[in-house]
Structure 1
C-alpha cells in the first residue's frame, strides 16, 4: 500500500489565476505549519512542485523527513494567456466558461486542458510510485494538481472534482492498495 499526503502550498494572496507564475507563499503562520508538519507521517518522503510557493512550503514542513528533488510535473495548471488574470479580465469568455464548466479538452490560449494536466500529474505520480514502492509520500503541490488526484481516487467527472475545496495548507490523503485509489481525507486542516 502507498499513501500520498497532498499538501496545498501556502497562500500567495494573488487575485488572478496563478498557474506557472512563480509567486512566493506566505508562510508566516508558524503555528499552522507546525500543526501541519506534526500531522504528517514522520517517515514519509517529501516532494514538491518546482514552483517556489510549493518548494518553500515543503521546506517549511519537511523537518527531519527525506526530501526528493523538485518535480516540475507537479506544477499547477498552465493558464497560458489567462495567467494572472481575473475571470472578468479574460477576453475569451465563452471559452473560459467552457473550460471551467465542462473541463476536458478545452484549453486556454497557449495553456493546458484539464485532460493534459491529468496526464502530466498522473505520470509524475506513477514515476514516484515506481521509484518508491510502498512508501508514504508528502507531495506539496497546487489546487489543480490535487484535484486531478481527487478525481482519480473518487472516480469523478472533472466537473465534479472542481466542486471540492482545497484550502491552502490543507492535507488530502489518498491511498493506493491493490491497484485501487481511495480517499481517506480531502481538504483536512490540521
Structure 2
C-alpha cells in the first residue's frame, strides 16, 4: 500500500492559464506552511515538479523529510499558445471552449491534451511507487496534475474532475491498494 499526499503549490496570483511558465509561488504565509508541514506524514519522501512554484513549496514543507529530485513529468499541463492568456484572450473561442468542455484528445496549439498530461503524470506516479514501495509520498504539483489522479481515484470523467476545487497549499490524499486507488481527503486545508 502506498499513500500519495498531493499538495498544490503556493499561489502565483496569476489570473491566466499558467502551465509551463516558471512563475514563483508566494510563500509568505508561514503559518499555512507550518500547518501543512505538521499535517503531512513525517517519514514521507517529498518530490515536486521542476517548476519553481512547486519546487520552492516542496522545499518549504519538507523540513527533515527525504527530498527527491524534481520530476519534470509532474509539471502542469502545457498550454502552448494559450500560455499566460485568460480564457477571453484566446482568439479561437470555439477551440478553447471545446478543450475545457470535452477534455480528452483536443490540445491547445503547441500544447498538450488532457490525455497526454494524464499519461505523463501516470508514468511519474508509477516510477515513484516502484522506487518507494510502501512509503508515503508527498508530491507537490499543480492543479491539473492533481486532477488527473483524482479523476482516476474517483473513476469519473475529466469534465467531472474539473468540477473539483484544488486550492493552493491544499492536500488531496490517494492510497494505492492492490490494482486501484482509494480517495481520502480532497482539497484539505490543514
TM-score class, shorter-chain normalisation, is over 0.9
Counterpart for residue 102 of structure 1: 102
CA shift, 1:110, in A, is: 0.2
Query: Deviations for 1:139-167, whole angstroms, at most 9, x for unmatched residues?
Result: 00000000000001011100000000000
The within-5 A match list for 1:1-190 is 1-190=1-190
CA shift, 1:92, in A, is: 1.2
What is the rounded CA distance, in whole Å, between the counterparts of 1:92 and 1:67 in structure 2?
A: 42
Query: Deviations for 1:49-71, whole angstroms, at most 9, x for unmatched residues?
Result: 00000000000000010000000
Aligned positions, number: 190
CA shift, 1:180, in A, is: 1.5
| Runs of at least 5 residues in structure 1 that lack an aligned partner in the other structure | none
What is the rounded CA distance, in whole Å, between the counterparts of 1:161 and 1:14 in structure 2?
A: 22
Aligned structure 1 segments of 4 or more residues deviating by more than 6 angstroms: none
Secondary structure of 2:55's counterpart equals helix
CA shift, 1:114, in A, is: 0.2
TM-score (structure 2 length as normaliser): 0.99
What is the rounded CA distance, in whole Å, between the counterparts of 1:69 and 1:108 in structure 2?
A: 29
| Runs of at least 5 residues in structure 2 that lack an aligned partner in the other structure | none
CA shift, 1:15, in A, is: 1.1
What is the rounded CA distance, in whole Å, between the counterparts of 2:92 and 2:126 in structure 1?
A: 35
TM-score (structure 1 length as normaliser): 0.99
What is the rounded CA distance, in whole Å, between the counterparts of 2:52 and 2:72 in structure 1?
A: 11
Secondary structure of 2:182's counterpart equals strand
